Amino acid sequence: MALTRWSPMGEMTRMREEMDRLFDRFFAPMERRMELPETFMATGWVPSIDMYDRNGDLVVEAELPGIKKEDVDISVEDSTLTIRGEMKREEEKKEEGLYRSERHYGRFVRSIPLPTSVKSDQVKAKFEHGVLCITLPKAEEVRKGKKIVVE
């Protein structure tokens, strides 16, 4: 049986990494944890969004800086909006003087659960100044609502 030397600092480092992972998962908002796609782990980013109600329509705005509209694909299935795209690197930078590279390149997917039913055949999208604006008309039964009488 071989003896190994115990390293208290190694144990402390391992314990700290485990605690960091635990707290990262615990304190992330539940909605954010539920909607992050599997590809987040591979690419490291998904576009940030705002979702709001405007004049009875659901509006989703997504930040897509540096992406061309041709490289974006939008789909609505059931009650989920999916935005797919790819940020392509224009030129490879292999200079010796490069100090830091933090920009993300590659594919992304963002699936957003919608709070109401929408008319998927009437969805409109506009792309301007790096912001994708998607207008999703709500289904009629959602717009009108229903009055319930208490007996």
Residue 132 belongs to domain with CATH number: 2.60.40.790
Kindly report the pTM of this predicted structure. 0.61
Residue 21 lies in a domain: no
Per the structure block, which two tokens stand in for 105? 């390149």
Order of strands, sheet of 80-87, starting from the edge strand that comes earlier in the sequence:
72-77, 80-87, 106-113
CA dihedral 74, 64, 45, 99 (to 10 degrees): 150
Looking at every residue in the chain, the average pLDDT score rounds to 79
Angle at CA of residue 78, ends 76 and 81, nearest 5°: 35
Look at residue 144 in the predicted model and tell me its pLDDT: 60
CA dihedral sign of residues 64, 66, 67, 69: positive
Average confidence (pLDDT) per 10 residues, the chain, 151 residues: 77 86 68 47 71 92 89 90 82 64 76 89 92 91 65 73
Look at residue 82 in the predicted model and tell me its pLDDT: 92
94 and 23 Cβ atoms separated by less than 8 Å: no
If one counts the domains in the chain, the total is: 1
Residue 125 lies in a domain: yes
Rounded Cα–Cα distance for residues 64 and 72 (Å) = 9
Look at residue 53 in the predicted model and tell me its pLDDT: 92
Look at residue 42 in the predicted model and tell me its pLDDT: 45
Residue 54 lies in a domain: yes
Percentage of the chain surpassing pLDDT 70? 70
Residue 133 lies in a domain: yes
67 closest CA partner among 125, 112, 109, 129 = 129
Look at residue 41 in the predicted model and tell me its pLDDT: 45
111 and 126 Cβ atoms separated by less than 8 Å: no
Look at residue 44 in the predicted model and tell me its pLDDT: 57
